[in-house]
Amino acid sequence: MSSVSKVAVLGCGRLGSSLASLIDKSHGIELSALYGRKEAAVREASLKTGVDKIYSNLKELPSSDIYLVAIDDDALESFSKNIFEAGFAKGKVIAHLSGSESSQVFSKLHSDGTFIASCHPMKSFTEKLVSLEEFDGTSCVLEGDSEACDVLDKLFSRLGAKTFRISSENKLKYHSAAVFASNYIVTLLDIAGELLSEIGLDKSFQGLEQLSQQVLQNVFSQGTEKALTGPIERGELEVVRKELDCLSEYKDISLLYALLAERTSEIAERKGSISTEKKSELKSLLEKAQASS
């Protein structure tokens, strides 16, 4: 179980192609195979990555120490049946790369003596291949059998990643956190862009970029409490009331504003910039605004 020499990548989409290319270029690890279920797609991935050990039949895969499965999340369970039937993973390590599914989606393979895990790289992979320099320092979150996690730890550390372990039960909570930190930031900026475009400022207004980047920098260098500024942090309830009033024409945006305002007041209270009484005053203001909308 200590060897990390032969690695097969199953799935030749965005992440599979990038990982296969990274492994192929790194020292001390051998990319044994890049698998895709469609011959044309795996050929295309081979041209893009320069990887020539390509397969489109699971039964023909060469023996490997680790199998990394980079396919759609909703196909993982049925794919584990294909792996079980093909029988190549017996006693080996098999891991998928999904952020939301835990290793348990592969539990059927346990009966074969296979070690199962998942490894989620906290990075966005597009059609463009990621270089070893770009992958360096990427946080990869592991969960699953400890034997499998130990092997993946070595593999991904060798690729320059920083690995972290969580328990399988916490996988969905972990993924929800990642959704807030990535997808919902996009949604909030989309709302901000929409409001600005309605008052004649372009959606890609430079000031929004400067403001958001500065805030993100502050959050990660100083923490959420110090990074929080604005009307709630200053306890300006009248500003919140007027803004809720102004946004009342958009039901979903005003509801979201109110929910976020309440959550923001908890940060402000922790920071000590507003009192518990002020927080309760805000809560009743928000409740009234929601009731009358």
Ligand X SMILES: NC(=O)c1ccc[n+]([C@@H]2O[C@H](COP(=O)([O-])OP(=O)(O)OC[C@H]3O[C@@H](n4cnc5c(N)ncnc54)[C@H](OP(=O)(O)O)[C@@H]3O)[C@@H](O)[C@H]2O)c1
Coil/strand/helix, residue 26: coil
Give the span between the Cα atoms of 257 and 204, in whole angstroms.
21
**Which among 78, 123, 115, 60 has a CA at the least distance from the CA of 97?**
123
- Member of 38, 81, 128, 270 binding ligand X (CB under 6 A): 38
Residues 246-275 that bind ligand X (CB under 6 A): none
Cβ of residue 121: shortest distance to ligand X, in angstroms?
Answer: 5
Q: Determine if 93 is a binding residue for ligand X (CB under 6 A).
A: no
Q: Determine if 178 is a binding residue for ligand X (CB under 6 A).
A: no
Q: Determine if 90 is a binding residue for ligand X (CB under 6 A).
A: no
List residues bridging with 7 in a β-sheet. 31, 66
Q: Determine if 88 is a binding residue for ligand X (CB under 6 A).
A: no
Classify strands 66-69 and 6-10 as parallel, antiparallel or unpaired.
parallel
Cβ of residue 231: shortest distance to ligand X, in angstroms?
Answer: 36
Give the span between the Cα atoms of 210 and 111, in whole angstroms.
54
List phi, psi (to 5°) of 140: -125, 125
User: C-alpha distances in angstroms, 36 versus 70, 140, 220?
Assistant: 10, 23, 39
Q: Which is nearer to ligand X, 78 or 275 (CB)?
A: 78
Residues 104-163 that bind ligand X (CB under 6 A): 120-121, 124-125
Cβ of residue 42: shortest distance to ligand X, in angstroms?
Answer: 9
Please choose, out of 48-56, 71-79, 214-222, 225-233, the segment that lies near ligand X by the rule CB under 6 A. Answer: 71-79
Q: Determine if 48 is a binding residue for ligand X (CB under 6 A).
A: no
Number of residues lying near ligand X (CB under 6 A): 25
Residues 193-222 that bind ligand X (CB under 6 A): none
**DSSP states of 49-102 as a string?**
H----EES-GGGPPP-SEEEE-S-GGGHHHHHHHHHHH-TTTTSEEEE--SSS-
- Member of 7, 71, 237, 258 binding ligand X (CB under 6 A): 71
User: What's the angle, vertex CA 131, arms to CA 45 and CA 210, rounded to 5?
Assistant: 115
Give the span between the Cα atoms of 46 and 53, in whole angstroms.
8
List residues bridging with 119 in a β-sheet. 142
Q: Determine if 292 is a binding residue for ligand X (CB under 6 A).
A: no
- Member of 9, 20, 61, 97 binding ligand X (CB under 6 A): 97
What is the token pair recorded at 69? 């499965």
Cβ of residue 142: shortest distance to ligand X, in angstroms?
Answer: 13
Cα pseudo-dihedral 34, 37, 40, 45, rounded to 10: -30
Q: Determine if 12 is a binding residue for ligand X (CB under 6 A).
A: yes
Cβ of residue 196: shortest distance to ligand X, in angstroms?
Answer: 28
Q: Determine if 85 is a binding residue for ligand X (CB under 6 A).
A: no
Q: Determine if 186 is a binding residue for ligand X (CB under 6 A).
A: no
Please choose, out of 69-77, 135-143, 170-178, 207-215, the segment that lies near ligand X by the rule CB under 6 A. Answer: 69-77
Q: Which is nearer to ligand X, 13 or 235 (CB)?
A: 13
- For residue 38, the one-letter residue type is K
- Write out the residues near ligand X by the rule CB under 6 A: 11-16, 36-38, 41, 70-73, 75, 78-79, 96-99, 120-121, 124-125
